[in-house]
Amino acid sequence: MKKTMMFYFFSCILLILVACNTETSSTMFKGEGEKWIGELTTSYDNGVEKQSLKIHYKGDRLEDIQVKTVEVSNDFFGWKVYDIQLDEEGNYYVKEDFETENKTPSSSKIYLIIEGVESETVLLSYGPQE
């Protein structure tokens, strides 16, 4: 009886420890080109990674800017946003637009491809969060 109680006690403790073990992390990739600044944030939680994207137009011709597509890609994934509208300061933000089961390694080279009036490809690389 005593051995059975010990077995159940340790089994319950083990189940509690396993249930509490959730991997959560966030990684930020940043890059800057001649015309654009980009920032991709990946949040990994319970086996699912969600990606958020911020872009900023550095130029002064904001009223002339039309962005047809913004593509985020590397060797593991790729996704696009179409016909985006910048705000009055030249910013665009898309929160958790893409989900994947794979965690993006911090060593990844991610390409931000902006197509439109001021087209440019910006390399995003890992940078510590501020």
Domain ranges for the chain = 23-126
Give me 124's structure tokens: 């995003």
Predicted model pTM: 0.76
Q: For the chain, how big is the Rg over CA atoms in Å?
A: 21
CA 119-123-126 angle, to 5 degrees, is 145
Give the three-state DSSP class for 7.
helix
The Cα 12–Cα 82 span in angstroms is 50
* Percent above pLDDT 90 for the chain: 52
CATH number of 23-126: 2.60.40
Task: Tell me the per-residue pLDDT of 20-61, one tens digit each, with 9 for 90 and over.
Answer: 445 678 899 999 999 999 999 999 988 899 999 999 999 888
81, containing H or E segment: strand 78-84
CA distances from 23 to 45, 106, 120 (A): 6, 16, 35
pLDDT at 18: 46
